[in-house]
Structure formats: structure tokens, C-alpha cells
Amino acid sequence: PFDVLVIGGGPSGASAAIYAARKGIRTGIVAERFGGQVLDTVGIENLIGTKYTEGPQLAANLEEHVKQYNVDIMNLQRAKRVEKKDLVEVELENGAVLKSKTVIISTGARWRNINVPGEAEFKNKGVAYCPHCDGPLFAGKHVAVIGGGNSGIEAAIDLAGVVKHVTVIEFMPELKADRVLLERVYSLPNVTVVKNAQTKEITGTDKVNGITYIDRATGEEHHIELEGVFVQIGLVPNTEWLGDTVERTPRGEIVVDKRGATSVPGVFAAGDCTDSAYKQIIISMGAGATAALGAFDYIIRETKTD
Ligand code: FAD
């Protein structure tokens, strides 16, 4: 059996595997797609210590770094079940059952798509999902934020300080964000809020040049010229496969303590799949390190040596 088995090959999983392997313990990593969300990212400017890198480059660096150590890498494998018995068992979709003293779940998250024409086509060409990451690329420009929940309104407030103008587009007749956020957003001179509006299309040529929406009250179609669209209709953790084994928040995020431990002894979690406050590369790498050290601590205290 493994001492530490990491599920997920994004920044948090890679970090957890390296920290575990450096303790000289038997470490494995199962990843559906090594690199994770980073593979879908173009420019990265906020990985501290690296002024600029690109997603595929960072993913390759993560894999190369993990390969420096004695880590059993099982890429292109999807986990479908985790169960605590004497050891923790992880079943893969190919039928294999892996056993480990500890498991670190780092299966990440995915941005919910709006699924309108133009979204996929202009991803990274004006269509963005992360204001902390891509906001500065739109300095002095006009952008839209789709979604008027907490993340959408936070994004609008954040972007308003960087870009020229923000138009928030909300499908429902009212914004769902917290009151303090609404007060703040309505106080900003360069934010316009459009409610009861259905996004129809993100337009562009080689990059985004506008957005078309339908006023749901009148059925009228409107077009706004702008350079960027931030889709903020939810970040969904990849935790459906866990069933009810570990405690999760109503949003599906795995609840972890300060050592990355979950509600199941021996099962740890890190990164975007957890209830961590913010979702970023550097934060998930830190969380992966924390979970690996937490797992190591657990092994030396709680499990029999063999
Ligand atoms: P992920 O990167 O989501 O990795 C999850 C891993 O788990 C993947 O390997 C996946 O294949 C695997 N997996 C999922 N389910 C299973 C399963 N059942 N079995 C096995 N494996 C599974 N952050 C920044 O800090 N700066 C940026 O500039 C930046 N730009 C971004 C741009 C885009 C377009 C996106 C989408 C995100 C961006 N982020 C950025 C956010 C950042 O990518 C994430 O916070 C980070 O990747 C989270 O790492 P993670 O390891 O927790 O999860």
C-alpha cells in the first residue's frame, strides 16, 4: 500500500506529492489530467517569484518537479470512490483498487460555463473567469461581468478599480449578492447593472468585441461594445464522485481543518475542491503542502509501522 495517495494532478496535488515524497514515504498520484486548470490558462503573472509563465509551461514544470522524486504517477486515471476501511481504499474507473494509509483529495474545480455562442471560441481572447488573474489585462477597457451573485458583484467591484467600465449582466430580476456588496457596487460611478437580461452571444472577430443580451421583460435585443467578458456564475468543486464519504459544504466543497484534514481520519484535501477562502495557484500549492505535512503527521502518530 501507499503511505500517501494523492488524487488530482493540479498545483495542489503536485505540491502534496512533492512534500510527501520528500519525507521518504511511499507516494502515488492519480490524475485524470496532469496539470489541472493550469492547462487551460494562458498568461500567469501572479505566481510569486515567477514574473510570467504560461499554463502549459507551468504544468510541464509541475510534472518535471514531481518526477524528480520517487512518486508513482498514474496519469489519465479517474478516481470514482474513496472508502475508509483499515486503510483508505480508492477505486479507479478502470476497476483498480488502490490502498493507502492516507489519501489527499485535490481534484480541483471547474468554472460553470454560460454556454452561449462565442464563449468557447473567445476563451482567453476576451472571455475570462478569474478577475484576480486576468483583471489587469483589461486596464482602461470596457468589460462585462455575467452573474450578479456574490462572486459576480465582487468581481465587478474589483474590476471597477482597474478597467474603464463594468457592465454587470444578471439573468434574474434581482441581484442575489449580499447587501454590503450591493451598496458598494451601486456607489461606483463606472459600473452599470443590467437585470432580467439573458446573455445571447459573445461577439468578436479574432477577440471579443461585444455582448448581446435579451431584455427578458420586453424581449428586445441589445448589443454592447466591449473588450472583455468575465463569466461569474459559479465555481463547481469536482467532488461529486465522493458521494457522502467526507463532509462537504452545501456548495460541495470539502470541509478541511488547518492541517487539511477532512471529517474522515486519514483522508486529507487541498486546493480548489475544498472550502478554502480563495482559489488561486499559489494558494492551492500552499494547501497541498499543508495537507501532505498533515498526512505525514497522521502517519507517524496514528498508523502502525510495517
Ligand atoms: P485543479 O487545477 O482543478 O486540478 C485538479 C486535478 O484533479 C486535475 O489534474 C484533474 O484532472 C484532477 N481530477 C479531477 N477529478 C478527478 C478524479 N475523479 N480522479 C482523478 N483526478 C481528478 N490562478 C492563479 O493563481 N493565477 C492565474 O493566472 C489563474 N488563471 C486561471 C485561468 C483560468 C482559465 C482558470 C480556469 C483558472 C485560473 N486560475 C489561476 C485558478 C487556478 O488554475 C486554480 O486555483 C488551481 O489550478 C487550483 O489547483 P488545484 O490543484 O486545486 O485544482
- pLDDT by residue (tens digit) across 54-87? 999 999 999 999 999 999 999 999 999 999 999 9
Q: Separation of 38 CA from ligand 1 center, angstroms?
A: 6
Q: pLDDT for 178-205, tens place per residue?
A: 999 999 999 999 999 999 999 999 999 9
pLDDT of residue 305: 61
Ligand 1 centroid–CA 39 distance in Å is: 8
Predicted local distance difference test score (pLDDT) of residue 180: 97
- Report pLDDT for 304: 72
Say if ligand 1 is within 6 A of residue 254 CB. no
Mutate which of 19, 63, 107 for ligand 1? The one with the most ligand atoms within 8 Å of its CB, which is 107
Q: Which residues have CB under 8 Å from 21's CB, separation 6+?
A: 27, 66, 69, 70, 71
* pLDDT-derived band at 42, boundaries 50, 70, 90: confident
Number of Cβ within 10 Å of residue 294's Cβ equals 23
Residue 306 has pLDDT above 70, yes or no: no
Looking at the chain, the whole-number percentage of residues with pLDDT higher than 70 is: 99
Global pTM value: 0.93
38, 92, 129: which to mutate for ligand 1, most atoms within 8 A of CB?
A: 38
Ligand 1 neighbour 73 (Cβ under 6 A): no
- Residue 241 Cβ inside 6 Å of ligand 1? The answer reads yes
State the average pLDDT for the chain: 97
* Residue nearest to ligand 1 atom 53, measured at CA: 108
The answer to whether ipTM exceeds 0.90 is: yes
Taking the centre of ligand 1 as the mean of its atom positions, its distance from the CA of residue 155, in whole angstroms, is 19
Indicate if the pLDDT at residue 160 is higher than 90.
Answer: yes
Return the best residue to mutate from 7, 29, 37 for the ligand 1 pocket (most ligand atoms within 8 A of CB). Answer: 37
**pLDDT, average across residues 149-175:** 97
**Taking the alpha carbons of 79, 84, 85, 86 in that order, is the dihedral positive or negative?**
positive
For the stretch 103-141, pLDDT in tens is 999 999 999 999 999 999 999 999 999 999 999 999 999
Residue 28 CA to residue 110 CA, distance in Å, equals 24
Is the pLDDT score of 101 beyond 90?
yes
| CB of residue 239 inside a 6 A radius of ligand 1 | no
Distance from C-alpha of 56 to C-alpha of 42, rounded to nearest angstrom: 8
